[in-house]
Amino acid sequence: MRITICGGGNAAHTSAGLFSTNPEHQVNVYISFPEEAGKWQRGISENEGITVSTTNQETKGKPNKVSSSAEEVVPGSQLVLLALPAFAHESILEEIKPWLDEDALVGVLAARGCFDLSAREILDEKANTIPLFGLQTLPWACRIVEFGKAVNILGTKAKVGFAVCPPQKTDQVCSFVTEQLHIKLEPIGSFLCLTLAGTGQIIHPGVMYGLFRNWEGSPFPEAPLFYQGIDDDTALILQRMSDEIQSIKAAILNQFPELDLEAVRPLGDWISQSYAGQIEDTSSLRNYFVTNRSYKGLTVPMQKTEQGLKPDFRARYLTEDVPYALVATRGIAELAGIATPMIDQVINWSQEKIGKEYLLDSKLQGSDINETRAPQRFGFETLETMIEAMFCP
Ligand code: NAD
């Protein structure tokens, strides 16, 4: 099978290296930056492939072709994977659209919110024949060791939430992707469910807000702990954000009781199940984070300035998780008629830190709304029309 992977970062190195170890796959890589594509080509040629290492194993896979021309690598691909940060999804979809075969399958590793609405708008009539699938997160925690040559997998998730548009094709696409890519998937109903169930949208912006909402600019001697730095007030912020998402879920189910939103779970349930055996003290939401061995020692993204270390508000915890996830959920809340005062506080603070305007006068009508995945951006003004587009595309 011909697979084209779009992207040139950590996720692309890992998927290109792993998937091309299968002799039945011909793996191409599309990178829109020619300089980056050149570095990949040189790296692969010197190393004779991409080495993928874990703590106890090392494999090497050699992609067939790397190019910065979509025309050279996309045609004939049965599977096209976007292994990219969310801010690059739309431009890459625009670039590959003319070269996608009618019967191709397009998937996104780490979909974030409302990917289906965004991709269907871009693919337009091509979306009628091309099913889309999205993974809730990347199956691996991975980092490039040497560009174009080697990548390290720090951990592999036991299962990854998985959604398909149209949802009616979920079983078929799930079997195909599992068989071809050997990723353990957990179908979770729909992209709507995947959007609301994302916990990164609560934890990443919520913790940044909790830790730095009163920060006045003094540098830090060292990077503060991210998860272990959560105090009672920050835990309450996370709890309230989670409660608001549960209210959105309840409002949707009230109107559409047939929908499966089972995977939209309260944050405490999610973390206690996802990290079973890793948490020493399960007496409170704060302790789920603070005593979670998987989170031990992880610090806030910081930037070095002349005055010293300061929190890096340009890091993805705000620049990716807010516009492409939390704002999408906030948009769904607006359509469902649910007030989200805590989420609004977090968005208001975040948008100021990253120099954007999403919320204006408590509505998603800010000047940068077109850089988000809020359903309003794609013209949806009622919950009914959005649900219809998501479930009966
Ligand atoms: P990355 O930062 O390594 O990806 C950067 C690459 O994306 C660049 O090298 C370039 O090839 C491409 N890119 C960036 N901007 C672009 C643009 N404007 N146009 C075209 N291409 C562009 O990211 P990653 O670590 O591979 O992560 C991919 C996604 O997976 C992200 O959403 C990330 O949050 C998520 N994720 C990553 C990990 C991980 O361990 N790496 C874990 C969980 C989730």
Q: For position 158, what pLDDT does the model report?
A: 82
pLDDT band at 53 (very low <50, low <70, confident <90, very high): very high
Per-residue DSSP letter, 324: I
pLDDT for 381 = 96
For tokens 């800010």, name the residue: 366
Q: Which residues line ligand 1 (CB under 6 A)?
A: 7-11, 31-32, 36, 83-86, 88, 91-92, 110, 137-138, 141-142, 316, 320
pLDDT at 157: 85
Q: What is the pLDDT of residue 156?
A: 87
Q: How do residues 351-379 score in pLDDT, each as one tens digit?
A: 999 999 999 999 999 999 999 999 999 99
If one counts every other C-beta atom within 10 angstroms of the C-beta of residue 76, the result is 12
- Give the pLDDT of residue 234: 98
Dump the DSSP string for 361-389: TTBS--TTGGGS--GGGGT--SHHHHHHH
Confidence tier at 224 by pLDDT (50, 70, 90): very high
pLDDT band at residue 390, thresholds of 50, 70 and 90?
A: very high
- Please state, in angstroms and rounded to a whole number, the distance separating the CA atoms of residues 290 and 174: 35
Choose one of 66, 81, 84 to mutate for the ligand 1 pocket test, by most ligand atoms within 8 angstroms of C-beta: 84
If we measure between CA atoms, which residue out of 153, 149, 177, 179 comes closest to residue 163? 177
Instruction: Please name the residues in contact with 109: beta carbons below 8 A apart, sequence gap of 6 or more.
Output: 11, 15, 81, 82, 83, 135, 138, 139
Tokens standing for 362?
């408590």
How far is residue 230's CA from residue 284's CA, in Å, rounded to a whole number? 12
CA atoms within 13 A on the CB side of 355: 3
32 alpha-carbon distance from chain centroid = 20
Residue 58 contacts by C-beta under 8 Å, 6 or more apart in sequence?
Answer: 51, 52
Task: Evaluate if pTM is beyond 0.85.
Answer: yes
Answer for the pair 13, 50: CB distance below 8 angstroms, yes or no: yes
- Closest atom of ligand 1 to CA, residue 142: 40
Percent of the chain with pLDDT over 70: 100
Q: From the CA of 346, how far away is ligand 1's center (Å)? A: 24
Check if 204 is active-site. yes
Question: Average pLDDT in the 236-243 region?
Answer: 98
**pLDDT confidence of 159, banded at 50, 70, 90?**
confident
Backbone torsions φ then ψ of 281, nearest 5 degrees: -125, 110
Say if residues 246 and 330 touch (Cβ distance below 8 Å).
Answer: no
Q: 103-151 pLDDT, tens per residue?
A: 999 999 999 999 999 999 999 999 999 999 999 999 998 999 999 999 9
pLDDT tens profile 66-104:
999 999 999 999 999 999 999 999 999 999 999 999 999
Closest ligand 1 atom to 110 CA: 30
Residues in the chain: 393
* Cα–ligand 1 centroid distance for 191 (angstroms): 20
Position 10 pLDDT exceeds 90:
yes
* φ/ψ of residue 147, rounded to 5: -55, 130
Rounded distance, CA 163 to CA 375, Å? 17
